[in-house]
A and B are shown apart, each in its own frame.
Chain A
């Protein structure tokens, strides 16, 4: 491995940090166009980097391409960044959504406040760091980085609705962070290590007397992540907050709940996987039941939603609930399908959040969200609306309608798009023909299909109300706003067309997640294998 290749793994953290620092130095108002260019270029560079990393991780033996020791200390003591298939996948997803949000904001949103671009880059930095790190406390630090940036983005554009929901969002997340700390320190007190791989190795050999403390720590830690992932009953903050944020922020927030899901996928399967000895599968039942309850809550929420932003927010709940429940089943095949679903639903929801703003633009200012939007633009947009409204794309409504149908099909999980493939993969793995199917899997099947039905009903109703019933002029939409939506949906189409290779990758990822031994050995022995002869 050459020098540049070796250090490429840290680029997804360093690059956004540098870009954001430069943007802050330039200032928010005066150099907005430079910042905008910098933001988009950085986001595109992140796509290129994470795609490269994804290819390398897929080709690497054992699934771990690189273990990067920050400060070059030996492994159990150093903070390490670990690149395996799952983290590479999440990096790519983050950078795709980040780019979509950055491009979308260029049309108007980045003018609604001062520091949109640097905040977005800080958020990307925190997300990438959280996906890469192999150390529990470092995970906390990256969580705080991404949360701090997300606080800024929740409040972005101001207005009393955003400030009130933002305040509740911040309070909830501060408490969750404190629980995170309690959990981490309990686990450290019991095992004496913070390195995830080392931790997994020590759990199997833990004396029986310490098990209760360890499980208490893991449980408290899990609560912190489940608040982020929005598992019922820890999710009441989510719909209000997600419905109030600006559209590009909503698009990137679609992946914020997935951070919690990612950590659970990583840590739960690593620490309490099959090889963990006595504490194996600790909390699996709870995860499954919670995921189910989240799906039900989210599905009822989508049916009850009056406006589209709330509908999207409740769909976020359904999406993360589905992955949690699938994870709780703890079968390799189901996890592979759930990963496929995670990617497809996150892309679909990101596109949906962006699309809502375009659709709602031409409507009467009835909805709360729209009122907020108007409030923001009330003074600023009036004079420039003549030249800034953009070219009217011919048949705008047809395009918007088509995109809406695309989102609905992906989110509800209907054929022919990727949502269907994902659900089919999960269910066919859960109902293996040769063995007796446990009750769990039947419940999963029923609730998954019913949630798809609820999503379909809610989306159809919203679509009819917006596109058919209301008599109004077509909203004026700029190409630069339509492009990110189209690209995200095309990615879903691509995921469907290339379902074979993508699914193979997901199954390989799930396989390595369910055999944590490879990960542990990979991380713990990686550095000693490749350490230069002269030592550190």
Chain B
């Protein structure tokens, strides 16, 4: 499971980095989204990988922490997902505005001279 997750994060992050270095705004925004997914998975992994473990303690008594998944990274991931979703939406609006104002989807606002 570790290797699958690590590969997943690596592929997402690698593709994301490659895409945000591309010259078209659409590629940049997809790259940012992929990077955000990679980061979210990474945060989850930092709470240690556990299967079949609930992230909460028992209703009565303290319980044994070793039986449970760490709830904090899951809460952090939720926050991070919401924030990255919102900022991506905002960025999308800016990209559309830039396309409208400059007439090109190049990140420099003009086509490179061939």
Q: Which residues of A are in contact with B by a Cβ distance under 8 Å?
A: 137, 141, 144, 147-148, 151, 155, 158-160, 163-164, 166-168, 170-171, 174-175, 177-178, 181-182, 184-186, 188-189, 194
Contacts and interface: CB of A to CB of B under 8 A. Distances in A.
22 contacts: A137-B79, A141-B79, A141-B83, A158-B101, A160-B98, A160-B101, A163-B97, A163-B101, A164-B109, A167-B91, A168-B107, A170-B87, A170-B94, A171-B32, A174-B88, A177-B84, A178-B35, A181-B42, A181-B80, A182-B39, A185-B76, A189-B45
Interface in B58-75: 72-73
A144 B107 contact: no
B86 A186 contact: no
A170 B90 contact: yes
A170 B91 contact: yes
A170 to B, nearest CB: 5
Given A160-B109, A171-B28, A151 B90 contact: yes
A164 B86 contact: no
A148 B87 contact: yes
The 6 closest A-B pairs by CB, nearest first: A189-B46, A160-B101, A185-B46, A185-B43, A164-B109, A163-B98
Contacts of A137: 76, 79
B107 A167 contact: yes
A147 B86 CA distance: 12
Contacts of B32: 171, 174-175, 178
Given A137-B79, A175-B35, A186 B46 contact: yes
Contact of A163 (B39, B79, B80, B94): B94
B20 A175 contact: yes
B57 interface: no
B28 to A, nearest CB: 6
Given A171-B32, A175-B35, A178-B39, A144 B94 contact: no
Given A170-B91, A170-B94, A185-B73, 15 more contacts: A137-B76, A148-B87, A151-B90, A160-B98, A163-B102, A164-B102, A164-B108, A166-B94, A167-B25, A167-B95, A170-B87, A175-B32, A177-B84, A178-B36, A194-B72
Contacts of B45: 189
B98 A167 contact: yes
A182 B48 CA distance: 15
A174 B76 contact: no
Contacts of B90: 148, 151, 170
Interface of B: 20, 25, 28, 32, 35-36, 39, 42-43, 45-48, 72-73, 76, 79-80, 83-84, 86-88, 90-91, 94-95, 97-98, 101-102, 107-109
Contacts of A148: 86-87, 90
A493 B84 CA distance: 43
A188 B42 contact: no
Contacts of B76: 137, 184-185, 188
Given A141-B83, A182-B39, A185-B76, A171 B91 contact: yes
Contacts of A185: 39, 42-43, 46, 73, 76
A144 B76 CA distance: 14
A238 to B, nearest CB: 17
Contacts of B109: 160, 164
A147 B83 CA distance: 11
B104 to A, nearest CB: 10
Contact of A174 (B43, B46, B87, B97): B87
Nearest to B94: A167
A181 B13 CA distance: 13
A255 B16 CA distance: 31
B8 to A, nearest CB: 15
Contacts of B28: 171
A158 B25 CA distance: 18
Contacts of A159: 101
A20 B37 CA distance: 32
A16 to B, nearest CB: 19
Contacts of B84: 174, 177-178
B101 A181 contact: no
A234 B98 CA distance: 24
Interface centre among A144, A168, A170, A185 (most CB of B within 10 A): A185
Nearest to A77: B72
B20 A171 contact: yes
B98 A144 contact: no
A164 B98 contact: yes
B60 to A, nearest CB: 19
Nearest to B80: A181
Contacts of A144: 83, 87
A175 B17 CA distance: 9
B92 to A, nearest CB: 10
B40 to A, nearest CB: 8
